Amino acid sequence: MKLKESEDRYRALVELSPIAIGIHSEGKVVYVNSAGVKLFGAKSKKELIGKPIMELVFTSFEDIVQERVKRAISRKEKLEAIEEKLIRMDGEELDVEISAIPIEFEGINAVQFVIRDISEVKKKERIHQATVKILQSVSLSQSLDQQYNYLHKTLIDFIEIKNVCFAFYDKRTDQITFPCFNDEFDAKPPPQQFENGLIEYTIKSARIQLLNKDAIKKLIDRKIISVNEKLPLKWMGVPVPLDEKLTLVLVIKEYMSEDFLGDKEVELINAISLPLTRAIERKMIEEEKKETLEKLEELNQTKDNFFSIISHDLRSPFDSILGFTEILKNDFEELTKEEIKLYLDSLYQTSRHIYNLLNNLLQYSKFQIGKTEFLQKSIKLNEIIEKNIAILGGNALKKEIKINNHSKEEFTVFADEDMLNSILVNLITNAIKFTQRGSEIVVSTSKKNGFAQISVKDNGVGMDEKTLRRIFKLDRKKSTPGTENETGTGLGLLIVKEYIEKHGGSIEVTSQPSKGSNFSFTLPLVTKYSSNSK
């Protein structure tokens, strides 16, 4: 009687226990308490009784469980608690800690198991580990690009994902850029304007978006969004404002399984979004500081070189002018007409050089301090090219050089006329300077990516790689003399680059020693938008 009462009391305690307890025999569940039913997400005990235990064990743990069951039954060995992974009735994974003891159940060898749910503990551990890795990546990475790679690897370890990207929306430029992009099907997109894609939809909503393929199609059908990419089975967007002007969107896609990316992943990603943001912010601040220091160093170097050019390139020609004028003043009566003409010609060339230098110095200085007016308007490109070729015709004629305009199609560009004149004069003058007597310079135009492309090509002395790398820098070294010892400072090309970039264009140079150079730059073509912006 006492034994029966003791068993009943034990059963009652087991049944009321908040910890999941069960018994399995011959590979099947023969008993489970109410806490166990709740743990496995079953509707009732009947749903679990008779179920093979291996159907409740995660695949990678099957061998371990089978070996432990064998030890418990054959050796009558009590098994200490170990971490395992089980599968709930709804298919969700469950991190647990299981201990077991061998018993007899209704006269048959069995194993009683005690399960403690440690999912929350494991989740916190994973979040902590991911957070530590994310914050450590700031000190480990040498650049922002490397930082993105570290973060990508951390996310892969944290959640088994293949397709992840960081998209940045800058309100100042109204552009979205993709510094980190990993996708099984789509290539990394170029910077794009803020329109009505999935990323824009996420930013506007200001909350995490988790969409399946059908939900995305509905948004497309309702014309809320437009998508030019392969539709994934699941799409997650996590908007993270970095400041008032910059928003990061973490994008995760899943193409293979509809079951992946659910509330669990949303919760995990949301938990690490703050450290992720802080890591990127810190690295961006580091990069900005680094860029600022480099710019200050470059400006300081430019200032030193600037004064070096002024002191050297102004003093030398003035020494020449003083020398020639002294000869003319003191020995005028004794000089022949030919000698006087020679000295006057030298004075003219030297004065012209000083004038060009001062003009370039003035232009460069005004541009650097923001005093240069920038007035864009519609300009017929061929007309302005012809005008500048005519202006420089005398210089070319002296060296018996032909300047040919090979522009076949007429383009209208949206540009500042004074700046465009300065660009063309500097590039054509430069070509004349480095082209051999009797040669040819070719100016041509074409269309490239919505811009007009203008090329000034010569077959002169050309440049090696070392020279090419420093042509757009204010160098302490004196500019390379021309084919007939023409002098220069290198300021002209610096002004050219500044003016082109001011227009939103770019300049490229290709050159080989003894084979000439090709300076090619772009300017915006006139569009409806630019025409109305005059």
The CATH number of whichever domain residue 526 belongs to comes to: 3.30.565.10
**pLDDT score of 204 more than 90:** yes
401 shares a domain with 517: yes
Question: What's the DSSP call for residue 36?
Answer: H
* Mean of all residue pLDDT scores within the chain: 84
Q: What is the pLDDT of residues 447-465, one digit of tens each?
A: 888 899 999 999 888 888 8
Query: Helix, strand or coil for residue 403?
Result: strand
Query: Helix, strand or coil for residue 517?
Result: strand
Comparing CA positions, the residue from 188, 285, 210, 291 lying closest to residue 242 is 285
**pLDDT score of 110 more than 60:** yes
Which residue has better confidence, 481 or 443? 443
252 shares a domain with 146: yes
Q: What is the pLDDT of residues 227-268, one digit of tens each?
A: 888 899 999 998 988 888 889 899 999 998 887 777 777 888
Instruction: Give the start-end residues of each E strand in 224-357.
Output: 234-241, 246-254
What mean pLDDT comes out for the span 35-43? 92
Which residue has better confidence, 76 or 503? 503
The Cα–Cα gap between 323 and 313 comes to 16
Strand partners for 84: 96
How many Cβ atoms from other residues are within 10 Å of residue 398's Cβ?
11
153 shares a domain with 111: no
> Total domain count for the chain?
3
What mean pLDDT comes out for the span 49-63? 90
The Cα–Cα gap between 307 and 209 comes to 57
With 0.75 as the threshold, say if the pTM is over it: no
What mean pLDDT comes out for the span 132-153? 81
Question: What's the DSSP call for residue 197?
Answer: S
Q: What is the pLDDT of residue 234?
A: 92
Q: What is the pLDDT of residues 149-165, one digit of tens each?
A: 888 788 877 777 888 88
Q: What is the pLDDT of residue 456?
A: 94
Is residue 434 assigned to a domain? yes
pLDDT > 70 in the chain, percent: 89
pLDDT band of residue 480 (cuts 50, 70, 90) is: low
Comparing CA positions, the residue from 378, 343, 399, 422 lying closest to residue 530 is 378
Is residue 306 assigned to a domain? no
Q: What is the chain's percent helix, strand, coil content, to nearest 5?
A: 50, 25, 25
**pLDDT score of 286 more than 80:** yes
Range of the domain at 22: 2-117
Which residue has better confidence, 232 or 11? 232
Assess contact for 25 and 110: CB atoms under 8 A: yes
pLDDT band of residue 534 (cuts 50, 70, 90) is: very low
Q: What is the pLDDT of residue 312?
A: 57
Instruction: Give the start-end residues of each E strand in 294-422.
Output: 376-380, 402-405, 412-416
Q: What is the pLDDT of residue 182?
A: 87
Which residues does 14 contact at the CB level (< 8 Å), separation at least 6? Answer: 21, 33
**pLDDT score of 359 more than 90:** no
Q: What is the pLDDT of residue 529?
A: 40
156 shares a domain with 100: no
The Cα–Cα gap between 120 and 140 comes to 30
* Angle, CA of 109, 113 and 116, to the nearest 5°: 180
CA-CA distances (angstroms) from residue 134 to 13, 86, 156, 168, 206? 46, 29, 12, 19, 23
Assign residue 33 the CATH number of its domain: 3.30.450.20
Is residue 341 assigned to a domain? no
Q: What is the pLDDT of residue 482?
A: 65
Is residue 16 assigned to a domain? yes
238 shares a domain with 150: yes
Assess contact for 451 and 524: CB atoms under 8 A: yes
pLDDT band of residue 2 (cuts 50, 70, 90) is: very low
101 shares a domain with 195: no
488 shares a domain with 417: yes
The Cα–Cα gap between 411 and 272 comes to 52
**pLDDT score of 314 more than 60:** yes
Q: What is the pLDDT of residue 527?
A: 64
**pLDDT score of 52 more than 70:** yes
**pLDDT score of 422 more than 80:** yes
What mean pLDDT comes out for the span 99-127? 88
Query: Helix, strand or coil for residue 100?
Result: strand
111 shares a domain with 130: no
Token pair in block for residue 2? 């006492």
Which residues does 44 contact at the CB level (< 8 Å), separation at least 6? Answer: 37
Is residue 449 assigned to a domain? yes
408 shares a domain with 521: yes
Which residue has better confidence, 212 or 287? 212
Is residue 359 assigned to a domain? no
- Identity of the residue numbered 422: S
Question: What's the DSSP call for residue 494?
Answer: H
512 shares a domain with 380: yes
Assess contact for 459 and 514: CB atoms under 8 A: no
274 shares a domain with 155: yes
The Cα–Cα gap between 377 and 338 comes to 49
The Cα–Cα gap between 448 and 53 comes to 67
Is residue 291 assigned to a domain? no
End-of-domain residue from the set 267, 282, 297: 282
**pLDDT score of 335 more than 90:** no
Is residue 76 assigned to a domain? yes
**pLDDT score of 374 more than 70:** yes
**Burial annotation 318-338 (CB, 10 A radius, 16+ → b, else e):** eebeeebeeeeeeeeeeeeee
Q: What is the pLDDT of residue 349?
A: 75
Comparing CA positions, the residue from 276, 242, 261 lying closest to residue 163 is 261
Assign residue 250 the CATH number of its domain: 3.30.450.40
Which residue has better confidence, 8 or 151? 151
Q: What is the pLDDT of residue 10?
A: 62
pLDDT band of residue 313 (cuts 50, 70, 90) is: low
